[in-house]
Amino acid sequence: MSQNAITIGAVIYDPKVTVIWGIIADFFKENALEVEPLFFKDYQAQVDALLKGEIDIAWNSPLAWVDADIRSHHRCLKSAMRDTDQNRKSLFLVQAKSGIKNLQELQGKKIAFGAIDSPQARLIPINHLARKGLVASKDYEEVIFNIGYGLHGDHVGGERDALEALKSGSVEASVCLDLNYEAWVKDGTIDEKQILLIDETPLFDHCIFTVREGFAPDRLKAWEEVLFRMDYNNPKHKEMMDMEGLKAWVQGRTSGFEQLKEAVERLRFFA
């Protein structure tokens, strides 16, 4: 690795991650800026490395952003995110035959969630329920499908198993990310006549590049300038962008993490 390379952390939630970052690294090299992807088994290890200065930039989940922001005393910087990371929401699903029409009717019922550390499939939905007056363990039973702990919900298995529990009737409701719901309707996993959407959270944002404290501003600017040149109309870029689930890189923002920050505080998640 060149001493001038910008080191980028990425969590291996799926084997395709190494392919994605191989394509990105090649593109940066073509644009005379070397990046070196470094891979981590989970977000805890990646945030640790970022705060120690072992990597320059981390491709973080929203929960990893909140963790890094808190632990750096708000000194980490934001960078880009995917177009699809903005304006997401979590959905509450029930069986049509249950007759349940709203969240209040889930009083005393079982609700299926994804991984315990999933922003979209547990933390934000639990916070939304609390805002509506329903407290976990008191007003409903929380059923967790804790697949891929440490991956912050990147592994969709927990959400999928929560849906299957709803379809089998072992729980009265389940939660999932809107993008997963749309994909499951499209592929037939969800029949909209049998599975009803009864509520949704306010909009929030998802993954974001997080930059270590002290990273040179000119280097960050150079990194972003090259990243934003990636073009979905370029077949080479399209392959990577389809795998990573975006059509464009956009400037990152942190305003979309307020619900998650509230959830982390409410549940004392990092305590």
pLDDT in tens, 197-241: 999 999 999 999 999 999 999 999 999 999 999 999 999 899 999
Q: How many helices (H) and strands (E) does the chain have?
A: 9, 12
Residue 186 lies in a domain: yes
Mean pLDDT of the chain: 96
pLDDT band at 1 (very low <50, low <70, confident <90, very high): low
* Total domains in the fold of the chain: 2
Picking from 269, 43, 266, 18, the residue whose alpha carbon sits closest to that of residue 153 is: 43
Q: Is there a domain that residue 27 lies in?
A: yes
According to DSSP, the β-strands at 35-40 and 6-11 are parallel
Residue 250, C-beta contacts closer than 8 angstroms, at least 6 positions apart = 80, 81, 82, 83, 86
Residue 2: predicted pLDDT = 65
pLDDT surpasses 90 at 262:
yes
Share of the chain above pLDDT 90, in %: 97
Q: Give the residue, 98 or 1, on which the prediction is more confident.
A: 98
Same domain for 221 and 162:
no
CA–CA gap between residue 133 and residue 111 (Å, rounded) = 15
Same domain, 216 and 174: no
In this structure, is residue 150 part of a structural domain?
A: yes
- Dihedral sign for Cα atoms in the order 9, 12, 18, 21: negative
Structural domain of residue 182, as residue ranges? 90-200
Predicted local confidence at residue 236, as pLDDT: 87
Rounded Cα distance between 106 and 103, Å, is 5
Model pLDDT, residue 3 = 72
